Amino acid sequence: MLEDQPTITESAPLQERLATLEEMQRAILNILEDMNEERARLNDTQRALMNILEDVETERARTEQARALLEAVNRELEAFSYSVSHDLRAPLRAISGFAQAVVEDYAPRLDDEGKRFLGLIQDNAHRMGQLIDDLLTFSRLGRQQMLETQVDLQSLAQGVFEELAAQTPGRKIQLVVHAVPPALGDKAMLRQVLVNLLSNAIKFTRPRPEALVEFGYAATPDGGAYYLKDNGVGFDMQYVGKLFGVFQRLHSATEFEGTGVGLAIVYRIITRHRGRVWAEAQVNQGATFFFTLPGGSAS
């Protein structure tokens, strides 16, 4: 307050006036010191902001370089995919076509072994075509744009199963679909997940007189997961680490057909949806595949 401040009057003794002047001088010096400290802090803040801006600019340049490199890689992959799709399919079609022509036109001149060899040529050409299709699907998944919507996996699984079961007439296959929560994701991609998992379940239950497949949702320590369970041939859990790799097969091609890419596609789709996928099984006791997805909740 002003009335509390010491004042200098003509009647004040000289000593009091000097003390008052010294006190005012100290106060002014303190104010100047505070101003210098504040100026130093402002300078430090300015330098820090400049460093942050430089770091941001450096990171932006790196991001631009990475984006340009990624675009170049994507262009190369597109060119590779086009080459694989067109340059490999043409000779495969020729091989299969000539083999079929030989069977049709020269069948009377061929013995049973010759016909068997031609059949093997056609079967392997067809398998190579499937392998090309699966590899192209796998390579495009990382670049395919995702359109996230709420997906009713319960009805989607039922529809996919009906389509697949219609391709295996004569087999007794039962699908049990439990109530499951909707998921947030790309419907086309999630349909591909169910196609691959249900196809495997139908394939690996082939030795069973009555196949049972079950789709549902189960509680897990970190929330919940969708699962697809079958009563098929199962597999040895010591090889589970190979299960989702490209070209990794736990059963021979003579036992069960396939390219060894289907589960790798499942893994890539689920991880793109920020989910997890894993499997549990016992030999001759069936297998269960679990996967998590955003939006999946039992509540």
Q: Band the pLDDT of 167: cuts 50, 70, 90.
A: confident
Instruction: For residues 270 and 192, state if they share a domain.
Output: yes
Instruction: For residues 7 and 135, state if they share a domain.
Output: yes
Domain count of the fold of the chain: 2
pLDDT tens column, 25-81: 888 888 888 888 888 888 888 888 888 888 888 888 888 887 777 667 666 666 666
Contacts for 194 with CB less than 8 Å, ≥ 6 apart: 153, 156, 157, 160, 228
Q: Band the pLDDT of 1: cuts 50, 70, 90.
A: very low
pLDDT above 60 (res 3): no
Structural domain containing residue 137: 1-143
Instruction: For residues 173 and 188, state if they share a domain.
Output: yes
- How far is residue 296's CA from residue 153's CA, in Å, rounded to a whole number? 10
**Residue 131, strand partner residues:** none
Instruction: For residues 110 and 156, state if they share a domain.
Output: no
In a domain, 297, yes or no: no
Instruction: For residues 118 and 186, state if they share a domain.
Output: no
pLDDT tens column, 93-118: 888 888 888 888 887 888 888 888 88
Which pLDDT score is estimated for 7? 52
Most confident of 12-16, 58-62, 202-206: 202-206
**Other beta carbons within 10 Å of 288:** 17
pTM: 0.60
Instruction: For residues 52 and 1, state if they share a domain.
Output: yes
pLDDT above 80 (res 12): no
CATH number at residue 248: 3.30.565.10
Q: Band the pLDDT of 198: cuts 50, 70, 90.
A: very high
Q: Which residues of 100-111 are buried (b: 16+ CB within 10 A; e: fewer)?
A: eebbeeeeeeee
